[in-house]
Each structure stands twice: as C-alpha cells, then as structure tokens.
Amino acid sequence: MDLAYSKEDEAFRKTVRTWLKANVPKKDKTLSDLPPNDPRRIQRAKDWQRRLYEAGYVALGWPKAYGGQGDSDIMRQTIVNEELVLARAPGLIGASGLTMLGPTLLQVGSEEQKQRYLPKVLTAEEIWCQGYSEPGSGSDLASLRTRAELVGDAFIVNGQKVWTSGAQFSDRMFCLVRTDPDAPKHRGISYILIDMKTPGVTVRPLVQMTGDAGFNEVFFEDVRVPRENLVGELNQGWLVANATLFHERNMLGSTTRTQLMMQNLIRLARSHSRYGQPVAEDPSIRQQLADLTTRVEAMKYHSLRQLTAATKGRKPGIGAMVNKLVGTELNHDICALALEIMNSYAPLNRRASHVIDNGIWPYEFMFTLGLIIGGGTSQIQKNIISERGLGMPKSR
Amino acid sequence: MDFGLSEEQDLLQQSAREFLTQECPPQFVRALLDDEHGFSPELHRKMAELGWPGLLVPEKFGGLGLGLLDMALLLEEMGRAVVPGPFLFSSALATFALMRGGSSAQKKTWLPRLASGDAIGTLAFLEASDRLDAAGITLKARKKRDGYTLSGTKMFVPFAAVADILVVAVRTSGKSEKGVSLVLVERDAPGLTIRPLDMFDRTRRVYEVRFKQVPVSGFLGKAGKGWKLLAQLQDLACVALSADSLGGAQQALDMAVEYTKVREQFNRPIASFQALKHMAAEMVSEVEPARSLVWYAAYAFDTRAKDASRAASIAKARLSAVYTRTTNKAVQMHGGIGFTWEHDMHFWFKRAKWNEFAFGAAAYHRERVARFDGY
C-alpha cells in the first residue's frame, strides 16, 4: 500500500490542471439566463467537449483507430476525471455516448459501427441519448414493448420511450426494442441505433420536479431503421444492454464530486446561523456533518481500492456493486443536511433575493433524488447486490 | 498509487482465517464463555508459534517487525472468529507502548517475552469517571525514597487477571495533559488487587484494578510526559478495534445470508424475500466501504500521516455504528433462533456492543472529527 502517486502521474496531473485552468469556459451570464436547451448553450457545450478532446483528455482509453488516445492507463483516466471535477468544468454533453454507447460498441459493435460512430462521439459532432425505459417498463426493463419488426433490410419501430435525457438535442439514440414478442422476455430484445431525424420520431419534453426539462418522452411511429444499425446479434440485446448498464452505474459513482459537495456543506455550516446560533456549533448538526464525513471518506478510499484492483487487472467483486446505491444516497443525504442547515432559506429559488449559494442546494436535493431512482433504483441495486453478489435466490 | 494489499498481506490474512477456522471455531469460543479468565493458554501458544504476538515487535527483539496494517488484517480475522482473549490488548496496545515508550532495558526485558507469547500485557487506562481525556487520569503516582508507588483505582482493565505486566496511565502532577505518565506495573506487585466486572460479552473480560501503595516497576518515557503516547495508544486502539469490528461484521453478514438460504418458510427459502435481501444488501453496502476506512487508518498510522488521528477517529466512528447495525440485522435475519443462547450469533452481537463503547463511541469520535475539520 502506497498512496503516493508516481512522479509521472504527478506530472500528468499538473499538466491537466494547468490546461484546465486556462481552458475551462468562464461562466457566461448571457448564456446562463437562456433556457437549458437553447441552441447557443448546446453549441457552447459541444465546443467545450471538442476542445477537451483535441487536448487529448476525452475517453483516453479508446483505441487510436477510432479517434481515441489508445492510453489504457486507468490512473491517467482517473486523474483527468478528478481534475475536471476539481476545476468545476462543465459536464460533457456527449456523456451518454462516451460512457454508455462507446464502451458497448467497443465490446460488441461491428467494425463498421465502430468506425462510423465512435470518432463523432468523442468530438461531440453526434450526441447520443439512451432509449431504455418505457412507461410500462421501469425497474422491470426487460418487459419493454417498443416493437421493431424486421421487414426486408430494415426494422420498423413502433412504441414509446420515457425519461430520455437529452433527446431534444440528440442526433442519435441507442435503443432497446422487442424483436421477438414470442420469446421469453430477456431473449426477444435487440439493441439498435436510431437516427433521431428519421420520420416518425417525435420528442416531447418532460418537466422534472426541479423545473428543468432535461427528460423527454420519445414516440416512434413506423420509424424505419436500417438492419445494419443492429448492435450485436438479433434478440441478444439484453446482454448488450447489461454491458452498458454496468458502465452507467460506474458513471454515477464519482467520489470527487461528493468530496467537493462535502467541503461546500461544511463551508455552508460555518457561515450560516440558525435559531440564534452559528449552525456549526449545534451539536446535532456537528454529529450529522461528521457522520457524513465518515461516509464520504469511506467512499473515497473504497474507490481508490477499486482503482487499484482495476490497475492490477483484478475483478471488482461485490465492492463495486454498492457504488451506485451508496454514492447516490450519500449525495442526497449531503444535500438534505444542507437544507436543514439553511432552514427558512432552504426553499428559496435561484433568482430569489437572499438566496444562498445560488439555490444550488435545493436544486441538487431534488436532482440527487432523481439519481437514486434513475439508472436502476436503490431497491433494484439491493436486488442486484443480494442476488448477484450474495447468491440469494430470486423472489419468484 | 496503490491502495491494496500486498501478496504477503493477502497470504497472512488467508492463513489466519484458515488457522482460526480450525483452532477457534464457535464451539471453542462457547467453551471459553464459562472459563474463569476467558482465555485459552493453548490457543495463545499456538498463535505464538505463528509469530502473531510479535507481529509489531522489531526483529531484533524477536518479532516480525510488521506494521499496523498487517496487524489490522490479523485482527480482522480474529474479529471474524470472535477470538476470546487478551491478544489485541497485549500484542497491539501494551506491546506498542513498550516499543515507543520503553527504555532499551525495558524493551530488552519485555519485548522478547511479549513477542514469544511468554508474557501478556494490558493497558490500564479508564477510571470510574469513564473519561478519555487527560483529566480522566487521576490515579496518583507518589514519589517515595525508593521509587514511585500508585494508589487509586483503574476500571475496565482488559484481561488483567492473565496479564503479567500492566501499562498504567497515572498522574504524577497537575490536572492537564502535562503530568500524565505511563508506568509499568507487574501484576503480582504487592498491593495490587483485581476484581472481575462480569459483563455480557464473555469473549472479553474486564477488571477493576485497585492499587494500594503499589510499587512502579518503571516509567515509559519521562515522568509527566506520557500523554502523547497515551493519545497515540488511543488511536491505535481505535484502528485495532475497528479491524476487529470489520471482521465481526463480515462474519455476521455471512452467517445471516447462509442461514436465510437454508431456512424455509412459506415453502421457499426466506433468502428469496426482498425484505431480507435488502437488509443483507444494506449490510454489504456499509461493510465494504468500511473496509477501506480500516485499511487507510492503519496505513496512516504506520506512515505517521498528518491525518492519522483523524483517520483513526473516522474508522472508529464508522465501524462502531456499522458493526452494531450489522449484528442487529443479522440477529433479525435469523429470527427467533438468533435470539437464543444456543445459537452463536450473540457472540458477535455482544462483541459489537463492547467494541462500540470501548475507546470512545461513534458520537465521541464524530465530535473529534468535527474538530479536526475545523468546525
């Protein structure tokens, strides 16, 4: 055990940090007043990903043949991810393509698919969204009913997807469809790629409790998808999707962000008063803050342990199965304590006078609850941990 | 950056698990519940043959010269097997006190004996006030013509009845940290009496130790300058107990999961019910990240990292809560049988409670973390 980073890694971190300092886009007031889906904001987000890509800091592990850096050093990838958070850099608009579609295509995609799609995922020339959940298929994802009938050399798709993040500005969707309605539910699903501009695709925004419209409903009416857009084998889409789901869970468990949130929470507690007393002097708040600290530290070292296992080529084991469950609940609990600290000021919206920290806490309090549900609810995570991790039998 | 165990450490832990599965199964623990001292000299001797008591002791004194991280792995396995006896207090606490505070003569006298298992040590720290700070140390050491003598009482001294040597926290002057001293007292010294304090965790034994003009056999370090080492011993105890708790929590979880797989109700294994699956998953989601806290705290202690004390408190705060919650759920997952004396689960359930309060409960250490973090 040695927590010191190698000289090379330290030097790399410094280079990344310096680059980010010079290149992370400054907050632009005129833009941040625009609605989140305004084309100018989308363009700016694409420009940022492109710049980061050109500097060599996007998806380092992808092979050079598809536009990647061909750098399999997990440590450097982690350093970039950490520094992005520490630099308060904007999230990447192409995240779904980078973290979910890309790894899936690299694993099971055809050579043509990799060449055609991967380079543009990196440069944000093409933005992808995920078409999994349906109104009738949430936790029971495998029951999905969006139908794709193979007619000649094309699928004809009919049905509906929901909770589709970013569909309103996405160019393409990786989508689960039912190709064999007579097979057992897990064996009649295929994984296909849909051009969002195809006739018959309709996107309708879905407003979240935060007031933002990040999600959408997506309707398909006789949408024609070329057969070559099938990823993996016909009716094997569930296996293909499970690879993607694994990547999604990994994505949701960043501890650098959690550490930053915890620092901000302590700062908040030290600067705010409540009931005639500085909040940080309230014994019950102190206990809660320190308890959260122990949980944040646990996840910090838990992720270092997994990082080490990954660099040594070891299987992550049951430890990695708890990431999504523990990480999302921890983030939400941090926000919940922030609200308790802010008390009467907690519900103030971003534009209200006297608002604290630009209203980020109530926003995150709601948003992080969404993350406890999205990508497999906490209850589904517990099923996975107990069934796959502990070998406890299925409920039925 | 390498936050993982070495091959040697993996091997140490694995062989410890195999040894304890063989030599300290639950029926062995059960037999010791009724033992007068809660101690098996035979098991102690076998562990000594493996070099365990000398794990921390430098090689020149007959030990293995390893660190707290290695010790933590061993203690995790001992917690898993809920091993009765003074090992943690002797081979971690008293031994470390001598390593850090002892004169070369004291080291020469005691470390080889402790390392070989020929002698057992313990730490006499708490008093009736149950305080962990310097003000809690009131046992008076008075200077006489031929050395110091002690008069007063220590409480909750682990395994005093089988110890050969006690590391005693005493007061030589004042009321603050200055004036706290650590002294060595031999258990058969005149004027020393011990009385067992019967408690629900029979795998641990604690005693009231009364001192009536008991001669001190020597000081660990200078008189009045013992607080720093005592504070370090508290950190060490926090890490050691956390490791024990980690192993115990893992074992309780494993036993509960296995039981629910074989126990049938409503014509199916109860492990298929989500109420129980989710309990088990929650236990995993607390135990797995907690493992990394123990590793880090031990590593920080070994490398004398700036945040070593903070890491010790974080580990103790977290593991105190996690072990108790885990054993609580494990008992519930067993249903009625888990509540019986006949079933073994109460060994861990009770050990968890003892570990929770020893050397500061979760709330105490959270407050300490708050201060470390500047609020």
If DSSP states are collapsed to H, E and C, what string results for chain A? Answer: CECCCCHHHHHHHHHHHHHHHHHCCCCCHHHHCCCCCCHHHHHHHHHHHHHHHHCCCCCCCCCHHHCCCCCCCHHHHHHHHHHHHHCCCCCCCCHHHHHHHHHHHHHHCCHHHHHHHHHHHHHCCCCEEEECCECCECCCHHHCCCEEEEECCEEEEEEEECCCCCHHHCCEEEEEEECCCCCCHHHCEEEEEEECCCCCEEEEEECCCCCCCCEEEEEEEEEEEEHHHEECCCCEHHHHHHHHHHHHHHHCCCHHHHHHHHHHHHHHHHHCEECCEEHHHCHHHHHHHHHHHHHHHHHHHHHHHHHHHHHCCCCCCHHHHCHHHHHHHHHHHHHHHHHHHHHHHCCCCCCCCCCCHHHHHHHHHHHHHHHHHCCCCHHHHHHHHHHHHCCCCCCC
Q: Is the pLDDT of residue A195 over 70?
A: yes
More confident site: A248 or A58: A58
Task: Give me the pLDDT at residue B344, please.
Answer: 98
Residue A248 annotated in active site: yes
Residue B232, domain CATH: 1.20.140.10
Residue B48, domain CATH: 1.10.540.10
Task: Give me the pLDDT at residue A252, please.
Answer: 38
pLDDT tens-place string over residues A216-231: 999 999 999 999 999 9
Residue B213, domain CATH: 2.40.110.10
Q: How many residues does chain A have?
A: 396
Q: Is the pLDDT of residue A201 over 50?
A: yes
* B272 contacts A393? CB cut-off 8 A: yes
Task: Give me the pLDDT at residue A233, please.
Answer: 96
Q: Is the pLDDT of residue B73 over 50?
A: yes
Task: Give me the pLDDT at residue A250, please.
Answer: 52
pLDDT tens-place string over residues B94-126: 999 999 999 999 999 999 999 999 999 999 999
Nearest CA in chain A to B298: A1
Q: Is the pLDDT of residue A313 over 90?
A: no
| A303 in Cβ contact with B295 (< 8 Å) | no
B233 and B367 fall within a common domain = yes
Q: What residues in A contact B271, CB-CB < 8 Å? A: 386, 392-393
Distance from CA of A358 to the nearest CA of B (A): 23
Q: Is the pLDDT of residue B156 over 80?
A: yes
| Mean per-residue pLDDT of chain B | 98
Looking at the domain assignment, is residue B2 inside a domain?
no
Instruction: Count interface pairs A-B at CB distance under 8 A.
Output: 161
DSSP state of B268: E
| B327 in Cβ contact with B249 (< 8 Å) | yes
For residue B201, how many other CB atoms are within 10 A of its CB?
21
Looking at the domain assignment, is residue B244 inside a domain?
yes
If DSSP states are collapsed to H, E and C, what string results for B186-221? Answer: ECCCCCEEEEEECCCCCCCCEEEEEEEEEECCEEEC
Q: Is the pLDDT of residue A35 over 80?
A: no
Task: Give me the pLDDT at residue A246, please.
Answer: 64
| Mean per-residue pLDDT of chain A | 93
Distance from CA of A149 to the nearest CA of B (A): 37
> What's the domain range around B112?
7-119
Task: Give me the pLDDT at residue A248, please.
Answer: 55
Q: Which of A82, A83, A126, A248 is catalytic?
A: A248
Find the CB nearest A5 among B1, B314, B375: B1
Query: Which fold does the domain A128-233 belong to in CATH?
Result: Butyryl-CoA Dehydrogenase, subunit A; domain 2 (2.40.110)
What does residue B304 show for φ and ψ, rounded to 5 degrees? 50, 45
* B276 contacts A392? CB cut-off 8 A: yes
* B373 contacts A266? CB cut-off 8 A: yes
Q: How confident is the model at residue A254 (pLDDT cuts 50, 70, 90)?
A: low
Task: Give me the pLDDT at residue A174, please.
Answer: 97
Task: Give me the pLDDT at residue A86, please.
Answer: 93
Amino acid identity for residue B274 in this structure: Q
Alpha-carbon span B265 to B267, nearest angstrom: 5
Q: What residues in A contact B365, CB-CB < 8 Å? A: 290
B111 and B138 fall within a common domain = no
How many Å is the Cα radius of gyration of chain B?
21
Q: Is the pLDDT of residue A319 over 70?
A: yes
Looking at the domain assignment, is residue B323 inside a domain?
yes
Domain's final residue, options B104, B119, B134: B119
Query: Which fold does the domain A252-389 belong to in CATH?
Result: Butyryl-CoA Dehydrogenase, subunit A; domain 3 (1.20.140)
Cβ of residue A341 closer than 8 Å to a chain B Cβ = no
Alpha-carbon span A360 to A366, nearest angstrom: 10
Task: Give me the pLDDT at residue A28, please.
Answer: 79
Alpha-carbon span B17 to B77, nearest angstrom: 6
pLDDT tens-place string over residues B225-283: 999 999 999 999 999 999 999 999 999 999 999 999 999 999 999 999 999 999 999 99
Q: Is the pLDDT of residue A251 over 50?
A: no
Task: Give me the pLDDT at residue B202, please.
Answer: 97
Task: Give me the pLDDT at residue A375, please.
Answer: 85
Average pLDDT over every residue of B4-22: 97
End-to-end CA distance of chain A: 44
B330 and B268 fall within a common domain = yes
* A318 contacts B284? CB cut-off 8 A: yes
Alpha-carbon span B26 to B32, nearest angstrom: 10
Find the CB nearest B281 among A269, A297, A382: A382
| A193 in Cβ contact with A173 (< 8 Å) | yes
Write out residues 44-83 of A within 8 Å (CB-CB) of B.
Answer: 75
What does residue A327 show for φ and ψ, rounded to 5 degrees? -65, -45
Architecture of domain A7-93: Orthogonal Bundle (1.10)
pLDDT tens-place string over residues B321-332: 999 999 999 999
Lowest mean pLDDT among A70-79, A326-335, B311-320: A70-79
| B308 in Cβ contact with B235 (< 8 Å) | yes
Task: Give me the pLDDT at residue A253, please.
Answer: 46
Q: How many domains, chain B?
A: 3
B48 and B130 fall within a common domain = no
Domain ranges of chain A: 7-93, 128-233, 252-389
Domain's final residue, options B174, B190, B225: B225
Task: Give me the pLDDT at residue A249, please.
Answer: 54
Task: Give me the pLDDT at residue B176, please.
Answer: 97
Intrachain domains A128-233 and A252-389 with the same fold: no
Task: Give me the pLDDT at residue B120, please.
Answer: 98
Find the CB nearest B314 among A280, A294, A307: A294
- In angstroms, what CA-CA distances link B234 with A122, A126, B137, B227? 52, 58, 14, 10
B97 and B143 fall within a common domain = no
Looking at the domain assignment, is residue B1 inside a domain?
no
- DSSP-derived secondary structure for B27-78: HHHHHHHTSSSS--HHHHHHHHHTTGGGSSS-GGGTS----HHHHHHHHHHH
B147 and B256 fall within a common domain = no
Average pLDDT over every residue of A368-376: 93
B217 and B256 fall within a common domain = no
Region of B17 please: left (phi>0), alpha (psi -120 to 50) or beta.
Answer: alpha
Looking at the domain assignment, is residue B334 inside a domain?
yes
* A5 contacts B281? CB cut-off 8 A: no
B109 and B130 fall within a common domain = no
In what helix (H) or strand (E) does residue B368 lie, and over which residues does it extend? helix B362-372
B114 and B129 fall within a common domain = no
Domain's final residue, options B119, B146, B166: B119
Lowest mean pLDDT among A147-161, A240-254, A300-314: A240-254
Q: Is the pLDDT of residue A272 over 50?
A: yes
Amino acid identity for residue B85 in this structure: G
Write out residues 313-332 of A within 8 Å (CB-CB) of B.
Answer: 318-319, 321-322, 325-326
B241 and B364 fall within a common domain = yes
Looking at the domain assignment, is residue B162 inside a domain?
yes
B212 and B269 fall within a common domain = no
Task: Give me the pLDDT at residue B217, please.
Answer: 96
What does residue A12 show for φ and ψ, rounded to 5 degrees? -60, -45
ipTM above 0.85, yes or no: yes
* B363 contacts A295? CB cut-off 8 A: no
Quick one: angle between helices B274-302 and B308-334, nearest 10?
A: 160
Q: How confident is the model at residue A29 (pLDDT cuts 50, 70, 90)?
A: confident
Alpha-carbon span A165 to A128, nearest angstrom: 10
Cα three-residue angle B95-B252-B312, rounded to 5 degrees: 40
pLDDT tens-place string over residues B342-357: 999 999 999 999 999 9
How many Å is the Cα radius of gyration of chain A?
22
Q: Is the pLDDT of residue B166 over 90?
A: yes
Distance from CA of B63 to the nearest CA of A (A): 21
Q: How confident is the model at residue A244 (pLDDT cuts 50, 70, 90)?
A: low
Q: Tokens at residue A337, please?
A: 């304590």
Alpha-carbon span B10 to A143, nearest angstrom: 44
